[in-house]
Structure 1
C-alpha cells in the first residue's frame, strides 16, 4: 500500500494547478506549457514535472479540478430545499455568468475539447453529469415526469445556459435586461414543466 500525498505535497500541487488555471484563463490553452506554469508558480521545471510529468497529465488534473468544482456547485444548487427551488436554482446558475474569469476559463476548456480527445471526453462526462443533476431536480419536483422527458428538458436547459454564458458575459454579445427576462422565462419554463417559456 502506497502512502498518499503529504499535506505539503497537496499544497504544492494545488499551487501548481492555480498557476495553470491563471495562465489558461488569461492567455489561453496555447500558452499553457509546463515551462510557463513552472515560471508562474516560481518553481523549477523539474519540480513541476515531479507532480505533472507531462502537459497532458497537467491538463487532465486541471480539467478534473475545474469540472469537479463546477459540478459540485450544480449538485448543491439542484439539491437545495428552497421554497422557490426552480428560481433559486436558476439564479444560482445564472450568477456564474457574472464571473468573467469563470466564463473565460470555460471558453478555454471548450476550445481545448475541440482539439483534444481527452479534454473532449472529460467535458462530455461533465455535461452528462450536469444534465443528470438537473433531470434529478426535475423529477424530484415533478414525480410524474418520465426519466426520458426530464433528461431532454435538462439537456436543453444546460445547452441554453452554457450558450447564454457567452452572450451574457460579453464574450460573444452584450447582456440586456429584455433578453435576460426572456431567457429567464424560457429557462424557468424548462425547470417548471412548460418548456417553451410562454
Structure 2
C-alpha cells in the first residue's frame, strides 16, 4: 500500500459552509482510503495470525507504511483492534435498537433477535474476530474495559427488551435473564463458529436454542402466533 504521510489541512475560521478546495478534498479521500486499507490489513492479520502477533509494528509492516504514519490514524493497538471489531458489535447493537423501536408483536421481536444470534454464531469471520478480541481482553486492561462496556450495553438493551415482551418481569430479574441469554448465545458461537469441528448432534440445534430462549426470555410461555 502506498505510504501516506500527509495530514488533512485545517479549515480557516468562518469557512465552515464553504466547500474545501480540490487538493484538500483529494487529501481527505486519500486519508480515508489509507485508513480503510489499514483496517483491512489489520483484520486479515488478526484472522490469519491471532492476537499474539497483532502488534502495531506488524500491522504497519503488512500495510507498507511506517509505524508513525500508522499511529497518525490509530495511535494504539487498541484503536486498530476497535476499528476492526467494533463494526461487528455495532451491527448487533443496531439490530437490537431497531427491534426495540419497532411496534411489533413480541413473537416477531423474539424471532428477529434469535435469527440474528444464529446467523452470528455460524458466521466464521465474525466468530473468529470475536474470539481473538476476547483473548486480547484477557491480558489487556483496555481491551477488557472495552469488552465490559459492550457487554453492559447489550445486557441493558436485552433486559429492556425482556421487560417489553414480559411487562411483569422485574428489573433485577430482567438483567439476570439477559445475562443468561447472552451467555447462551456466546456458547452457541463456540459450538457452531470458526475453528469448531462440526458434529452430527449440532443438527436440529436451532429449534432447541429457540425453545431455550423462550423459557428464559418469555418465562417459559409456550410459543403462540398470537402473542
Bin for the TM-score computed over the shorter chain: 0.7 to 0.9
Matches within 5 A, 1:96-115: 96-115=120-139
Counterpart contact for 2:125–2:194, Cα < 8 Å: no
Which one of the candidate residues 163, 166, 175 is aligned to 2:190? Answer: 166
Partner of 1:128: 152
Counterpart contact for 1:139–1:146, Cα < 8 Å: yes
Partner of 1:190: 216
Rg comparison, structure with higher value: 2
Question: TM-score, normalized by length of structure 2?
Answer: 0.73
Offset, 1:25: 1.9
The 3-state SS of whatever aligns with 2:52 is helix
* Paired residues, number: 194
Question: TM-score, normalized by length of structure 1?
Answer: 0.82
Unaligned runs of at least 5 residues, structure 1: none
Matches within 5 A, 1:21-170: 21-83=43-105, 84-169=108-193
Deviation digits for residues 133-163 of structure 1 (CA, Å, limit 9, x no counterpart): 1111111222222111111111100011011
Counterpart contact for 1:98–1:169, Cα < 8 Å: yes
RMSD: 2.7
Offset, 1:93: 1.7
Offset, 1:95: 0.8
Q: Could you say which structure has the higher helix fraction?
A: 1
CA 1:193–1:109: 2 relative to 1, 3 Å? same
Partner of 2:19: none
